[in-house]
Amino acid sequence: MTAAAVSGTLLETPLTPSRLGWLRDRGMGASVLVATLAAAFGVFLVEVTVYIGAMLKADPEIGESGTLAVVVAILSVLLTGVAMYVAAIVTANTFATIVAGRTRRIALMRLIGASARSQRAEVARQGLVVGMIGAVLGFAAGIGVSAAGAVIGGAVLPHPPASFSLLQPGVVFPVAGVALTTWIAAWAGSRRVLVVTPLQALGGSADRSHEEVAARPGRHVGALILLVGGALLLAVGVVLGLANPLGVVVAFFGGVLSFTGLSIGATLVMPPVLRLVGRLFGSGPTARLAAENALRYPERSSRTAIGVVMGVTLVTMFAVAMESAKALLLRQTTGDDADIYFAPMDAFASVMMVLVAISAVIASVGLVNLLTIGVVQRRRELGLLRAIGLTGRQIRLMVLLEAVHITVAATITGLVLGVAYGWIAAQSLLGSLPVMPDFEPAGLVAPAVPWVPVAAIVAATAVLTLIASVTPTRLATRVAPVEALAAD
Amino acid sequence: MEITTSDLGLAARVQHLTKTYGAGEGAVRALDDVSVGIRRGQFTAIMGPSGSGKSTLMHIMAGLDAPTEGRAWIGDTEITGLGDVELTVLRRRRVGFIFQAFNLVPTLDALGNILLPFELDGRRPSAVERARIDGLIETLGLGKRLRHRPHQLSGGQQQRVAIARALATAPDLVFADEPTGNLDSATGREVLQLLAAASRDHGQSIAMVTHDAIAASHADRVLFLGDGRIQADHPRQSAEQIAAYMLAAEVAA
């Protein structure tokens, strides 16, 4: 029986798959999707930037002044960068889990004589292929969306650009960038290939129930330095901002540094938050199992969560910054034309929020991966739970709660950070603004939190969570209790 | 009125059980008209070579798989035709499982694993059950390990936790699937002695699937399966007798 089972698993994972057969492995499709989204987003932003530049030229009033075009270009680069960064994190995570799923096969190759380095190089090469496929698909999608946008723009805008070509050389950057970052992310995510031993092919090796997170103090120190340094710069920016609007520049770099520190140190910051949220779930068996599961691979969960944190933080930041700025500016005027005055600002904030939300969508693909791999890797455990008395409904609830756990922790973190960053942005930019009634500088003001966007963010993450957990919950309920008994 | 399972002194039984996998030419008959009962309070070993149908029989008896034809009872409850939720609740309350690969929930400590069937039922153990669990923990020597996670325990310790979990609810029947398959022989012998003691001292009904003659020699009764049928039904035997029977059956086949 045992021999039959072993040969069975080997047959399912052929040692010499067809050249691109590995693309059907679980997780590869999601990686392609992530790369596609990031590339399409980048291509679209390049096109928009060029289009707006051309449009401004066509506008008789704005004419040759290039300032606005430069601002749009900088924003495009920043937004593409954020999307690619989130995509790279998701991809690295996905490849780490793909490697975990392939441990047996890698061990067998090592047993036969393959070197760990060559095995890792193969995984990275697959990452490059995935990145290139995603880049090409994303290029096509981005061009398609841009073409549609240009047609709509031509019909709606008062001053459409006279000539606009979709063939912009700039699109090379996001396309090549996505292929490269996917490659690098796959390489980074395949680190665990190096610790697979040939012995693991010989069966009997019990699953390691807890990921042994290799202590990497260097990394944590770096993250802490970035966090502390960034926080200091943020504080300096606020203080400077009381006298001079240029405080926002200092604060900007503080924001970039501290946020980078946060994402590098995700494994430092997120587990306590996850633990706290897990405790809110109560003490029912399903909730407790779900809460423990989210912390089983703290590194994986934290990185998945940080992707969502980024999206939520940036959206919240724009909303809070705009609202706080509005509150400050309102104190400058007494007129009733405030609404007209603020309409372009509101429009700008909405557009930015929608654009930033793309990273949240990419992050939610990461959530799907996390949950799916979590289910696939513990089929036996799910079978066991079914055998000793967990109903299908309880299993479904458990997987859903795992998703909720991650997104609730990420949303709370993102909202807190976003309010802080947004307030600092407005404060450091407008703190020196003279306000009514006697035109003294505004000084410190409380952050203004616009509740409608915040409610929209919470609702959107709730919807993303539900969508992300559809496939994993279905997979989990399909596990038969008999699987717990199968000896492998 | 139909004769009930308990009238017969049985903890579980199956009647005219047939299980076929696939259809047409390639159909495989894993069980072929099997009728058998597991006696209450006894330690029964189910033996047979690979492909004899012993695992299929256990899966169906435990409510984990449905037969193609025939009926199955746990206690006086007929389980064929029950829905998934009813079967789940039945397993939770009235069946215990011990697996080859220990199969503890890795995120729960030893005590959490032992109490899991109660938690799934949404209740705390009663005073009587609590006393029973304390007794089990003492007998199995787990007192100092209760706060350890499975990965901090040896294989033998993990299997003891699994035994405690299986016996904690005083189920009608405990199924053990090659419980010593992953243990060294000394640890395996201890586990088998614990199972035999649970049956002898507390009247626990146990059905153990194994292909190990030494493991089966600890049982009160040995059922031999071959080609989807019960080939023999022997009272307690020595490991040599069991091995000799198995060898003869293999050679004859």
- Cα(A261)–Cα(A193) distance, rounded to whole angstroms? 27
> How many C-alpha atoms does A7 have within 13 Å on its Cβ side?
3
Residues A76-132: pLDDT tens digits?
A: 887 788 788 888 888 887 888 788 778 878 888 887 778 888 889 989 999 999 999
pLDDT of residue B2: 66
Residues in Cβ contact with A53 at an 8 Å cutoff, skipping those fewer than 6 apart? A66, A69, A72, A73
Share of chain A above pLDDT 90, in %: 18
Average pLDDT in the A351-359 region?
A: 79
Q: Which residues pair with B97 in a beta bridge?
A: B175
CB contacts, 8 Å: A206 with chain B: 101
Write down the residue that tokens 């090659």 correspond to: B178
The torsion angle over the Cα atoms of residues B136, B141, B146 and B147, rounded to 10 degrees, is 180
B250 inside 8 A of chain A by CB: no
- Cα(B226)–Cα(B52) distance, rounded to whole angstroms? 4
DSSP state of B182: T
Shortest Cα distance, chain A CAs vs residue B148, angstroms? 13
- Cα(A356)–Cα(A365) distance, rounded to whole angstroms? 15
pLDDT of residue A28: 86
Residues A285-324: pLDDT tens digits?
A: 888 888 888 888 888 888 888 888 888 898 898 888 888 8
Instruction: Enter the tokens of residue B219.
Output: 């049982």
Nearest to A20 by CA among A119, A121, A133: A133
pLDDT of residue A14: 45
Q: Are B118 and A390 in contact (CB under 8 A)?
A: no
Residues in Cβ contact with A166 at an 8 Å cutoff, skipping those fewer than 6 apart? A47, A143, A146, A147, A150
Write the burial class of residue B117 (CB in 10 Å: 0-12 exposed, 13-18 middle, 19+ buried): buried
Residues A385-438: pLDDT tens digits?
A: 888 888 888 899 999 999 999 999 999 999 999 999 999 988 888 877 776 666
Backbone angles phi, psi at B21, to 5 degrees: -105, 140
Least confident of A146-150, A226-230, A329-333, A417-421: A329-333
Nearest to A448 by CA among A343, A330, A326: A326
Q: Are A339 and A346 in contact (CB under 8 A)?
A: no
- Cα(B180)–Cα(A264) distance, rounded to whole angstroms? 46
Shortest Cα distance, chain B CAs vs residue A361, angstroms? 30
- Cα(A233)–Cα(A255) distance, rounded to whole angstroms? 8
A67 inside 8 A of chain B by CB: no
Binding-face residues of B in 185-204 toward A, CB within 8 A: none
pLDDT: which is higher, A435 or A215: A435
Are residues B120 and A388, on separate chains, in Cβ contact within 8 Å?
yes
Are residues B105 and A385, on separate chains, in Cβ contact within 8 Å?
yes
- Cα(B207)–Cα(B182) distance, rounded to whole angstroms? 18
Q: In 10 A of CB A18, how many CB atoms?
A: 9
Write down the residue that tokens 């007209």 correspond to: A340
